[in-house]
Amino acid sequence: MAITPVSKSAPVAASNEPATNNTAAMCMVATLFFMWGFVTCLNDILIPHLKAIFDLSYFQVMLVQFAFFTGYFIFALPAGKLVERIGYQRTMVLGLCTMALGALLFIPAASVPAYLFFLAALMIVAAGMTALQVSANPYVSVLGRPETASARLNLTQALNSFGTFVAPYFGAFLILSTTPKSLAEIRQLAPDALQAYRLHEAATVKLPYIVIACTLLALAVAIGLFKLPKIAAIEGGHEADGSKMKLWEQRHLILGVIAIFVYVGAEVSIGSFLVNYFSQPEIGGLSEKAAAVYVSFYWGAAMVGRFIGSALLTKLRTGPVLGTAAIIAALLVTASMLNFGSVAMWTIIAVGLFNSIMFPSIFTLGIAGLGHLTGEGSGLLIAGIVGGAIIPVIQGALADSIGIHHAFILPVLCYVYIMYYGFRGSRPRGTVAA
């Protein structure tokens, strides 16, 4: 897969631009990070809503995340080729327009209503979001001095976390604005009454996604008209077969791909189940609307953790910090499984704080020592995001068979692997010649 990240040795035309131009450009591009965080987190609100409307099992409703995160795996390579062909700025604009198209497809999906139509719309949203990730991440990394690249990426990722923080409030207010009928009541409805009920409940997604589509289109126009600094062609492309073999021989990279896979899977699985989890009588007994507000605390903790983690990682080694965070995350999930009420709620929410440093830490450790193969290695790591498609579905099947409370054993196992990667698996056994 090709994501075209940039090494520090890559020529950067943008560095010749005035600093004020670069700052303004970064502020403009940073809005993309907010938007894809916002739209991604809104899936956590869609899941309980669609589950109630279509009377879905946990396994079936987790197809929301499967459809969404599979998009990363399917569209990352075409998006990388698109960047090479039309450039960063046009790829950003096209990504925003594609996301807007997917958002607008929620209107006919709700008018039918049809669950498969919702899944198709989500996959189109994911296609546009993949284009944004492939273009915006490397663009921000080279938009200024190489030695401050990490600070710029941390700042934009914090805005991404802010998007995930505010999305549950937005979704709770507009999507979960009504109290759904109980499962028993739904199953007693006559076919005509059931169809009318589903049409009424599904209609609540129309306004939010119209607003999102309009915002995305406005942002596409703004990005298209903004004079972003040009970036010179970056080093990369196709390596010789021997070089590719060397890439697969990098044990810390391959183990890092698995770590990204299980991390994204664990984070998404927890977030996807929180509304239903907090609605359980023995956990919180909350309405779906009230539970959605608590979901924002989970993602808000991740935002706070990014700032704390960035300070810690300037003084401490990345591997041990990652391993320690994974241990604490596993203990918190376990504590939630072994308890009820407010203890179960707040321990699972606190996991977000320790999730915060995991993705950038795994990514940094995974590409360490790759030299001229850093671009190819980055693409493999991004492919690991597909864990967000697969692990939530597995947890959904577990929730159907052993209950939602005990299904969290799956994220615990994911964090155990990340602990191993932080302390042992991330150690490079050699470097690739630059």
252 in the same domain as 233: no
Whichever domain contains 105, its CATH number is: 1.20.1250.20
Q: What is the dihedral of CA 248, 250, 251, 255, to 10 degrees?
A: -70
246 in the same domain as 389: yes
Q: Which residue shows structure tokens 């990514």?
A: 363
Cα 266 off chain centre by: 11
405 in the same domain as 260: yes
In this model, does residue 4 exceed pLDDT 70? no
In this model, does residue 244 exceed pLDDT 60? no
Tell me how far apart the alpha carbons of residues 401 and 114 are, in angstroms, rounded to a whole number. 26
Residues in the chain, overall count: 434
Average pLDDT over residues 399-427: 92
151 in the same domain as 136: yes
Cis peptide bond N-terminal to 48, omega within 30: no
Nearest alpha-carbon partner for 161 in 290, 301, 15: 301
pLDDT, position 374: 60
208 in the same domain as 326: no
Interhelix angle 115-142/88-104, rounded to 10 degrees, is 160
**Sign of the CA dihedral with 11 first, then 17, 19, and 25 last:** negative
Q: Which of 187, 218, 237 is the last residue of a domain?
A: 237
267 in the same domain as 207: no
247 in the same domain as 218: no
Average pLDDT over residues 242-254: 70
In this model, does residue 415 exceed pLDDT 70? yes
pLDDT, position 8: 40
344 or 156, higher pLDDT: 344
Contact 143, 21 (CB under 8 A): no
Tell me how far apart the alpha carbons of residues 112 and 134 are, in angstroms, rounded to a whole number. 34
Indicate the number of domains in the chain: 2
In this model, does residue 153 exceed pLDDT 90? no
252 in the same domain as 170: no
Tell me how far apart the alpha carbons of residues 285 and 374 are, in angstroms, rounded to a whole number. 48
Q: Which residue shows structure tokens 């577990």?
A: 398
Degrees, nearest 5: CA angle 288-175-349: 45
- Give the contacts of 425 (CB within 8 A, at least 6 positions apart): 251, 252, 255, 256, 259
What is the tens place of the pLDDT at every residue in 20-53? Answer: 557 778 788 888 888 888 888 888 788 888 888 8
In this model, does residue 295 exceed pLDDT 60? yes
12 in the same domain as 136: yes
What is the tens place of the pLDDT at every residue in 45-85? Answer: 888 888 888 888 888 888 888 888 888 888 877 887 787 78
pLDDT above 90: percentage of residues in the chain: 26
Q: What is the mean pLDDT of the chain?
A: 80
Kindly report the backbone phi and psi dihedral angles of residue 214, in degrees, each rounded to the nearest multiple of 5, phi listed first: -65, -40
In this model, does residue 354 exceed pLDDT 60? yes
170 in the same domain as 108: yes
State the residue range of the domain holding 96: 1-237
pLDDT above 70: percentage of residues in the chain: 82
In this model, does residue 305 exceed pLDDT 50? yes
298 in the same domain as 190: no
Interhelix angle 241-248/374-383, rounded to 10 degrees, is 50
Tell me how far apart the alpha carbons of residues 123 and 110 are, in angstroms, rounded to a whole number. 16
pLDDT, position 14: 46
Cα 196 off chain centre by: 34
pLDDT, position 9: 38
Nearest alpha-carbon partner for 127 in 87, 84, 90, 98: 98
Tell me how far apart the alpha carbons of residues 242 and 143 are, in angstroms, rounded to a whole number. 32
Q: Which of 203, 237, 271 is the last residue of a domain?
A: 237
Name the band, by pLDDT with cuts 50, 70 and 90, for residue 232.
low
Q: Which of 210, 237, 264 is the last residue of a domain?
A: 237
Instruction: Kindly tell me the burial class for residue 410, based on how many C-beta atoms sit within 10 Å of its own C-beta (0-12, 13-18, 19 or more).
Output: buried
In this model, does residue 240 exceed pLDDT 60? no
Nearest alpha-carbon partner for 387 in 69, 134, 124, 38: 69
What is the tens place of the pLDDT at every residue in 214-229? Answer: 999 999 999 998 887 7
In this model, does residue 179 exceed pLDDT 60? yes
280 in the same domain as 225: no
Tokens coding 349 = 């929410």
Q: Which residue shows structure tokens 């006559």?
A: 190
pLDDT, position 82: 83
Name the band, by pLDDT with cuts 50, 70 and 90, for residue 124.
very high
Tokens coding 71 = 């998009």
> Is 0.85 surpassed by the pTM of this model?
no
Tell me how far apart the alpha carbons of residues 408 and 160 are, in angstroms, rounded to a whole number. 25
